[in-house]
Chains A and B, each alone.
Chain A
Amino acid sequence: AQSVTQLGSHVSVSEGALVLLRCNYSSSVPPYLFWYVQYPNQGLQLLLKYTTGATLVKGINGFEAEFKKSETSFHLTKPSAHMSDAAEYFCAVSDPTGGGNKLTFGTGTQLKVEL
């Protein structure tokens, strides 16, 4: 079984400050890992994914995440927050060995960006 833990259901940063959203996972096999963003009343949009290869992955809108196997983490960062980054962010894990690539999500982190 797989699971995802997102520390901090709400994170608030100032515009221009570093964004750090935390994600830890549990998986019995080397996982695929994802970050999705959800704006109000919209579906989820993929920000970035780690499948294999380079452990530092870059996504859209200036976000990046690093897969750290030893820490079972996949934290999301952005050097400088913008007002438009305010949204809910979900970390997710998938088992690449089977299960149809279904996603197991964390409970989400609501990001607030203040002036």
Chain B
Amino acid sequence: DTGVSQNPRHKITKRGQNVTFRCDPISEHNRLYWYRQTLGQGPEFLTYFQNEAQLEKSRLLSDRFSAERPKGSFSTLEIQRTEQGDSAMYLCASSQAAGGFYEQYFGPGTRLTVT
């Protein structure tokens, strides 16, 4: 169990550019979640996958955001035409599937700064 990893850890980009983040979950976990955390706030749910299927998207996830999990393993989160309001910490978490609650294990996050 090597934990959830996220890359890059930090990203600075100019407004209008596209960025992509990667999340590698714990290998046996088939659920993967993305959250966003802005300064002084708690994490907010963005979307989650069970295996390769994206089962729910928050209204926070505008059309500029897209997430994929092509083979039910790693996931990517892409933001197109970044805006300054997208500056935040993007957290990924993974867990086993339902049938009771399974703990979500969080990665260290990717901090995005849009200048």
Contact = CB atoms under 8 A, between A and B. Distances in A.
Nearest to B9: A41
B10 to A, nearest CB: 10
Q: Which bracket fits the contact residues of B?
A: 20 to 34
A92 B42 contact: yes
Contacts of B104: 46, 101, 103
Given A100-B50, A103-B43, A108-B42, A43 B31 contact: no
B40 interface: yes
Interface string B27-69: 0000101010000111111001010000110000000000000
A62 to B, nearest CB: 19
A90 B43 contact: yes
A107 B55 contact: no
B101 A43 contact: no
A70 interface: no
B91 interface: yes
Interface in B81-106: 91, 93, 95, 98, 100-104, 106
Nearest to B50: A100
B25 interface: no
Nearest to A51: B101
Contacts of B109: 43
Contacts of A101: 31, 95, 98, 101-102, 104
Interface of A: 4, 9, 32, 36, 41-46, 49, 51, 90, 92, 94, 96, 99-108
Interface of B: 4, 31, 33, 35, 40-45, 48, 50, 55-56, 91, 93, 95, 98, 100-104, 106-109
